[in-house]
């Protein structure tokens, strides 16, 4: 095999790996909002039936939520690569992605606690007692429920905002606005989760197309 052939094969392998990575990120950009919308829809259905506590509706909803949050891990890791390899823009994007990933860890822990409580508790009262004990542990509230989980949303918003400046060919100027709208809707009320997730999906869809272009 000649040197030129070897170089060509290495370039083809690198291009194939990059293409696979873009495909995975594109799939995650679609799956994340869809799974979160599913969580919101199942939650509403369970509440409408008066059976949203320990049981099938609670477990299914939180499994969807957990899967939706985990889908954003490749999103954060993939979008950070759009800023290039070096320079101040890469540092800024890395910080935003790191903030988002830190928040992701907290939200995942929260979802796991919710799932475990729903599995162990016999009824809503018992589940409430479990939450009271867990949240009564010093540091748990800010780390898992109030402060650190917000970094997930702040990191996502910061990441798409930076990329809207640095990579306008992939992230349009209106994308951060839609991400912000979705975040605010979900923060106002969990009942608005499907609508907020729809905003996220509409915002990230053109990003997905840009990655595959």
Task: Show the DSSP H helices in 121-192 as ranges.
Answer: 124-135, 140, 150-166, 175-188
pTM for the full predicted model: 0.86
pLDDT at res. 15: 42
Contact 104, 61 (CB under 8 A): no
Contacts of 22 (CB under 8 A, 6+ apart): 78, 211, 212
Provide the b/e sequence for 44-62 (b: ≥16 CB within 10 Å). Answer: bebeeeeebbbeebbbbbb
Query: Could you list the mean pLDDT of each consecutive 10-residue stretch along the chain, which spans 213 residues?
Result: 46 49 85 96 94 92 96 93 79 95 97 95 93 95 96 96 91 94 94 96 87 65
pLDDT at res. 213: 56
Contact 102, 159 (CB under 8 A): no
Long-range contacts, 3-7 (Cβ 8 Å, 24+): none
pLDDT at res. 106: 97
The phi, psi pair for 89, rounded to 5°, reads -65, -35
Question: Cα 95–98–100 angle (5° rounding)?
Answer: 110
Q: Which of 162, 145, 199 is nearest to 33 (CA)?
A: 199
Is the C-alpha dihedral spanning 168, 169, 174, 179 positive or negative?
negative
What is the length of the chain? 213
Contact 125, 184 (CB under 8 A): no
Contact 107, 69 (CB under 8 A): yes
pLDDT at res. 34: 96
């Amino acid at each position: 095999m000649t040197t030129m052939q070897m170089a060509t094969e290495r370039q083809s392998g690198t291009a194939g790996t990059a293409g696979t990575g873009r495909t995975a990120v594109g799939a995650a950009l679609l799956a994340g909002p869809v799974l979160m919308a599913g969580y919101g829809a199942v939650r509403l259905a369970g509440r409408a039936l008066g059976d949203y506590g320990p049981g099938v509706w609670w477990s299914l909803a939180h499994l969807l939520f957990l899967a939706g949050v985990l889908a954003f891990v490749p999103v954060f890791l993939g979008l950070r690569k759009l800023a290039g390899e070096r320079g101040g823009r890469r540092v800024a994007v890395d910080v935003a992605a790191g903030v988002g990933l830190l928040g992701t860890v907290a939200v995942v822990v929260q979802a796991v606690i919710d799932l475990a409580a729903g599995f162990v508790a016999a009824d809503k009262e018992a589940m409430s007692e479990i939450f009271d004990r867990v949240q009564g542990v010093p540091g748990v509230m800010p780390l898992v429920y109030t402060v650190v989980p917000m970094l997930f949303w702040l990191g996502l918003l910061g990441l798409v905002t930076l990329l809207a400046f640095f990579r306008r060919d992939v992230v349009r100027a209106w994308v951060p606005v839609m991400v912000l709208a979705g975040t605010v809707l979900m923060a106002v009320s969990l009942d608005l989760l499907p609508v907020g997730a729809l905003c996220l999906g509409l915002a990230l869809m053109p990003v997905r197309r840009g990655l595959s272009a």
